[in-house]
């Protein structure tokens, strides 16, 4: 998208360096200026969520772990681990745990299994974590295999099923009875998940004993511009 914005901008401004009428030049500059507004907004968000601006991204991962009601003993799963950040934070916070990070590492993301392994090594937790290629829509694990499951901002990205509630169900399937979960995604997006109260009711109907929900934006202070971008994000956490 960034390249697309730059190319269109150049297509608009390059003709203005040639001998064309002043009116056309002005019109092209105005259109290019207007075109730059969404681009600037996008670049601002890109910077805001990049690791250069450490604060917010870490706070989002920390929130997932903070809300996980777990004592850290046993086996945890990070679904859609990306570059492994959440799995690594989990392993660091719970030194007695064993963590599995899965991701399908497909097109569209610059993440890989090798990158996760290098990151875990760099952070000194390589012996605690295993990374594995798998899809969130069909986890290659037995029912009740994990003591804790986490996921951050993944389900809405999953393309191999349209059933977003089904993804939550599949995640909870591999959690043992009494195990804990903390899952963050665009749960307030009605088109994907329906009405939040109804979603929570359905999760309870699946036999989950405790389900809590919070809106991510209410947990941190952030600029209004960013808040509006994150307004659909929520965190589901509790005990199976
Ligand atoms: C926004 S990133 C989040 C990564 C990571 N959870 C984090 O917090 O940094 C979304 C991730 O979802 C992964 N993903 C997309 N579809 C997936 C699928 N079917 N199964 C597992 N992971 C998937 C992508 O590869 C990407 O790593």
Domain that holds residue 42: 2-49
Classify residue 141 by its DSSP letter. S
Q: Do both 67 and 182 map to the same domain?
A: yes
User: Which secondary-structure segment (H or E) carries 113?
Assistant: helix 113-122
What separation in Å is there between the alpha carbon of 225 and the centre of ligand 1? 24
Per the structure, how many domains does the chain have?
A: 2
Q: Do both 39 and 131 map to the same domain?
A: no
Q: What is the CATH number of the domain that holds 188?
A: 3.40.50.150
pLDDT, tens digit (0-9, with 9 covering 90-100), for 104-116: 998 888 899 999 9
Site to probe by mutation for ligand 1, drawn from 82, 102, 170 as the one with most ligand atoms within 8 Å of Cβ, is: 82
Q: Which atom of ligand 1 is nearest to the CA of 82?
A: 27
Ligand 1 near 86 CB (within 6 A)? yes
Per-residue pLDDT of the chain (240 residues; tens, 9 = 90+): 778 888 999 999 999 888 888 999 999 999 999 998 988 888 888 888 776 666 778 888 999 999 999 999 999 999 999 999 999 999 999 999 999 999 999 888 889 999 999 999 999 999 999 999 999 999 999 999 999 999 999 999 999 999 999 999 999 999 999 999 999 999 999 999 999 999 999 999 999 999 999 999 899 888 888 888 889 999 999 999
Return the pLDDT at 88: 97
Ligand 1 near 82 CB (within 6 A)? yes
Q: Are 76 and 146 in contact (CB under 8 A)?
A: yes
Return the pLDDT at 53: 61
Q: Which of 28, 49, 70 is the last residue of a domain?
A: 49
Phi and psi, residue 69, nearest 5°: -80, 70
What separation in Å is there between the alpha carbon of 73 and the centre of ligand 1? 25
Q: Do both 41 and 156 map to the same domain?
A: no
* 225/212 Cα distance (integer angstroms): 27
Ligand 1 near 62 CB (within 6 A)? no
Classify residue 217 by its DSSP letter. G
């Amino acid at each position: 998208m960034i390249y697309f914005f730059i190319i269109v901008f150049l297509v608009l401004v390059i003709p203005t360096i040639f001998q064309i009428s002043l009116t056309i030049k002005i019109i092209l500059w105005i259109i290019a200026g207007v075109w730059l507004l969404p681009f600037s907004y996008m670049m601002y968000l890109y910077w805001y969520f990049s690791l250069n601006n450490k604060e917010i991204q870490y706070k989002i991962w920390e929130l997932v772990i903070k809300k996980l009601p777990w004592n850290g003993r046993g086996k945890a799963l990070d679904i859609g681990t990306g570059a492994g950040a959440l799995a690594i934070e989990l392993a660091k916070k719970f030194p007695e745990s064993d963590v599995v990070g899965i991701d399908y590492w497909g097109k569209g993301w610059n993440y890989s299994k090798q990158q996760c392994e290098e990151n875990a090594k760099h952070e000194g937790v390589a012996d605690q974590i295993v990374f594995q290629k798998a899809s969130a829509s069909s986890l290659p694990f037995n029912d009740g295999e994990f003591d804790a499951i986490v996921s951050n901002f993944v389900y809405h990205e999953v393309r191999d099923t349209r059933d977003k509630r089904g993804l939550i169900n599949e995640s909870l399937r591999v959690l043992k009875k009494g195990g804990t979960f903390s899952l963050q995604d665009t749960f307030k997006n009605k088109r994907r998940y329906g009405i939040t109260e109804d979603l929570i009711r359905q999760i309870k109907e699946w036999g989950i004993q405790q389900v809590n929900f919070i809106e991510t934006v209410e947990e941190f202070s952030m600029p209004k511009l960013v808040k509006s971008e994150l307004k659909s994000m929520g965190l589901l956490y509790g005990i199976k």
